[in-house]
Amino acid sequence: MLDKFCNSISDEAQLRIALTMGNLALPVWTEYFTKNPAAMDQLNALIADKNRVKGGLEKIDLEFPKRALEKIERSLASAKEKSTDRPIPIMKSDATLSPLLATCMQPLSNPQWDNTLNQSARLVFTSVFNILMWILKRRKTDFHETHIYVAINQGVDVVLRETIRSQRNINVILNEYEHHKRQDTEDSDWENALPVGRSEPLDQEDVYKKIIGEKVTKDQPGTTVAREVLRQMREEGKSYWNMMDEYTTGTSTTYSYKKETQGYSRHEFDAIVGSFSNTYPMTESEMLSFIAQQNLVDLRESGFEV
């Protein structure tokens, strides 16, 4: 039985199996929306003010599950550098994963979820959700199954249902991890690990201080999240621009990464009369330091998934 097998192997082994199954199932998600483009609007219609989760994306796009799995893989690799034998408890405090979980929770909390998309597409999405829930929030579902087992089972279901792999092929994947035996303290290690610590959000007084030019130090991302912002600049072409700064200074300032020069830069433009337009190169260290001091809400408004 799959559940007994999962209970006998390490957390890391289970996560790697879940990621493998999730990646194998990804084409099903892509193919479904390629054939049913209107379904993406139906999916996003499930996200409303009443079920919006702080930190979640305004809209889900075609690449969301792929990006989520890639970020989980990067988080695992980073955690392995800090703890080779127990990386999952370290991942519990990875702030770059929190927005992904928040995004997943939004449509899933809508009662119409089960009536939206086909079953295989839903399973791809909920598999990602269960991986993230298991890493960040809790071990078991209300039915006393571990979230990571549910994620693996959902991935296997899609892979078999859509004839992506045979049962024999899946058994070969599972057998690669049969010697990764579970240790007695793995659950307690995760329980005792620190969760994601987010700063106190901005209130109205903080917003007023920003308007009059005072420095607000709440809700800052820190170095780990700042590195993720820089990665999104490099790999996804995103840039940072703060509307409030432009309003108070009259200068439109954009921070970005140019692939042509393979470097970061700050572009300043006179938003009032257009008297200047200058670009200044920035080192990675300078950009990292700058982003780490910004507010999460401003980074999210610029499109960063943090």
Where do the structural domains in the chain lie, given as residue ranges?
Answer: 2-192, 204-301
What is the rounded CA–CA span in Å between residue 300 and residue 165?
Answer: 38
What local confidence, expressed as pLDDT, does residue 204 receive? 61
Low-confidence ranges of the chain (pLDDT < 50): 197-200, 217
- Any idea what DSSP says for residue 181? B
What local confidence, expressed as pLDDT, does residue 199 receive? 43
Q: Does pTM top 0.85 for this prediction?
A: no
Amino acid at 197: G
- Backbone phi and psi for residue 146, each to the nearest 5 degrees, phi listed first: -70, 145
263, HSE (Cβ side, Cα atoms, 13 Å): 10
Question: Tell me: the pLDDT tens digits for 163-196?
Answer: 999 999 999 999 999 999 999 999 999 998 877 6
